[in-house]
Amino acid sequence: MGEPERVQTLNEKQNWYWKKNIKFISGLLVIWFLVGLGGGVLFAAPLNEVPFFGVTLSFWIGHQGAILVFILLILSYAIRMDKLDREYFEKKHEN
């Protein structure tokens, strides 16, 4: 079945904005997965041998560390998107 051509109403600059957005979200979600489900679950057994202050590293990630990383992810998304909005504004008014 042939793939018909899609409607494309975003102009070049809008497309650039959307692609940047997707790239950034993907990066953040990779960190989200590695820290939360990786460090807290998949690699919990080996990391349980690593001491972290009074507890083990995996215990800390599972109970507190992952949540701290989650805050940073959402914060960096808001900051980065503000910057992207500004870059887009400048790009749009270049010519």
Partner 1 sequence: MSVEVITIIMVLFTFALYTGIGWWSRVKDTSSFYVAGQNVPTVANGAAIAADWMSAASFISMAGLVAFLGYDGTIYLMGWTGGYVLLALLLAPYLRKFGKFTVPDFIGDRFYSNSARTVAAIATIFISITYISGQMRGVGIVFSRYLQVDIIVGVLIGMAIVGFFALLGGMKGITWTQATQYFVIIIAFLIPAIAISLQLTGNPIPQLALTSSDIVERLSTIQVDLGMTEYMAPFTNLSLLNVFMIALALMAGTAGLPHVIVRFYTVKNVRAARWSAVWAIIFIALLYLTAPAVGAFAKYNLINTIADQPLEEVQDIEWVSKWETTGLLQFDDLNGDGIVNFAEGSPDNEVVIDKDIMVLSTPEVANLAPFIIALVATGGLAAALSTASGLLITMSSAVSHDIYYRIFNKEASEQQRLRVGRLSLLVALLIAAYVGINPPGFAGEVVALAFGLGAASLFPVILLGIFDKRMNKEGAIAGILSGLIFTLVTISLILSRTIFGTEEAIIDSFFGINAQGVGVVGMVINFIVSFIVSRNTPEPPIEIQQLIENVRAPEMDNSHFEAAATKESE
3-state secondary structure the chain: CCCCCCCCCCCHHHHHHHHHHHHHHHHHHHHHHHHHHHHHHHCHHHHCCCEECCEEHHHHHHHHHHHHHHHHHHHHHHHHHHHHHHHHHHHHCCC
Residue 30 within binding range of partner 1, rule CB under 8 A? no
Q: Which of 12, 73, 83, 95 binds partner 1 (CB under 8 A)?
A: 73
Residue 27 within binding range of partner 1, rule CB under 8 A? no
Shortest Å distance, C-beta 72 to partner 1: 10
Residue 7 within binding range of partner 1, rule CB under 8 A? yes
Q: Which of 2, 89, 94, 95 binds partner 1 (CB under 8 A)?
A: 89
Residue 63 within binding range of partner 1, rule CB under 8 A? yes
Q: Which of 30, 34, 50, 75 binds partner 1 (CB under 8 A)?
A: 75
